[in-house]
Structure 1
Amino acid sequence: MLRDDLTQSMKEAMRSKDSRRLSTVRLILAAVKEKDIELRTQDDSDRDDDAIITDILAKMVKQRKDSIQAYEEAGRCELAEREREEIEIIQDFLPTQMTDDEIKAACEAVVSELGAEGLKDIGRCMGVLKTKYAGQMDMAKASGMIKAMLS
């Protein structure tokens, strides 16, 4: 389970005195705890804990990529490098990312599976991709590919 992996990683980072990894894993666990509190009022009988955590991790990577761009534009290379280190640590807990060719193949499969014909079907296609490949593919790339296929 991903939650157990995070806890174990935090303990290992404490033992090895790896402050960067420790602080990043603590940020992840804090985000997970925040999501737990948010979901507390909902029925959790069909909740997939790993999928929720994977979604949190993907959002954290995206936030850091945005921060890197902003830091580089501002000339703050040391902060951009710190964000890159955090991305590497976060990606240790994410499933392996799909290549562009794999993303294209998955998009083509979903388009044919749904019988999508026009731009109005992009939302349905993306919904299926998000369900099947959560955390494994860059959804922005997938959206662009699907848009190109359907236009």
Structure 2
Amino acid sequence: MFVQRSFARHLATTCALSKPKCLNLFQRAYSVSAAEQVNAVIDLKQAIKNSIKTSMKSGKKTETAVLKSVMADIIYMEKSSQANQDISASAMIRKGIKRREESAVAFRAGNREDLALIEESEIQILNSLLPKQMSEECIAKIIGEIKERIGAKGLGDLGKVMKVANTELNSSVSSMKLVSEVAKKILSA
């Protein structure tokens, strides 16, 4: 735990020199205590509840329905057996985004552009709930630090790098596919 936090401080200052946005995003990725994780979920739940109230008061039915579905997913996750697993509220939101993206593609394949546009507007609402994502440059710096720390030498060590990156970057990147591509570039160089 101490190694992760000192590494976070070191990398945060490195990123802060080039891009100030990286500093806040990287610190968010290192909330390692269980109490901080619970508080983050509670804060996100409270933010969603407040958004539901404001959207209901302003008469935005689509936004209200999307926010209620996200809240239902989070509550279901908490009450089900999946609560024992390490699934965050932001992961549930990403899951909802992925579902809607797949639906939009299916609607377009069926020549239902109107329904595809509705799905895309719901995706925008869900994206507004997620924290800002790290840039590719910050991901590259973090992967470089991980590579040096574990002594990775080539593409054969991609699995080791991705294992560490997955634990360190889980909430601050929307797609581990992007992290994988950056890691492949760095390890093949």
Shorter-chain TM-score category? 0.7 to 0.9
Unmatched tracts of structure 1, length 5 or more: none
Any residues of structure 2 matched to 1:70-81 within 5 Å, and which? 70-81=106-117
Contact 2:140 2:186 in 1 (8 A): no
> Which residue in 2 is equivalent to 1:149?
186
Q: Are 2:70 and 1:28 equivalent residues in the alignment?
A: yes
Q: Residue by residue, what CA displacement relative to the aligned partner does 1:55-103 show, whole Å, maximum 9, x if unpaired? A: 1112222222233333333332222211211111111221102223333
Structure showing the higher helix proportion among its residues: 2
> Which residue in 2 is equivalent to 1:4?
46
Q: Residue by residue, what CA displacement relative to the aligned partner does 1:95-146 show, whole Å, maximum 9, x if unpaired? A: 1022233333332232222222344533332333333323432211111222
In structure 2, distance between residues paired with 1:5 and 1:26: 12
Q: Which of 152, 173, 178 is equivalent to 1:116?
A: 152
> Which residue in 2 is equivalent to 1:133?
169
Unmatched tracts of structure 2, length 5 or more: 1-42
- Taking structure 2 as the reference length, what is the TM-score of the superposition? 0.65
AA paired with 1:148? K
Q: Number of residue pairs matched?
A: 145
Q: Note closer, same or farther for the CA distance 1:75–1:27 as it changes in structure 2 (3 Å cut).
A: same
In structure 1, distance between residues paired with 2:61 and 2:111: 25
Q: Note closer, same or farther for the CA distance 1:71–1:102 as it changes in structure 2 (3 Å cut).
A: farther
Q: Which of 138, 147, 166 is equivalent to 1:102?
A: 138
The secondary structure found in structure 2 opposite 1:75 is: coil
**What is the root-mean-square deviation of aligned Cα atoms in Å?**
2.5
AA paired with 1:70? A
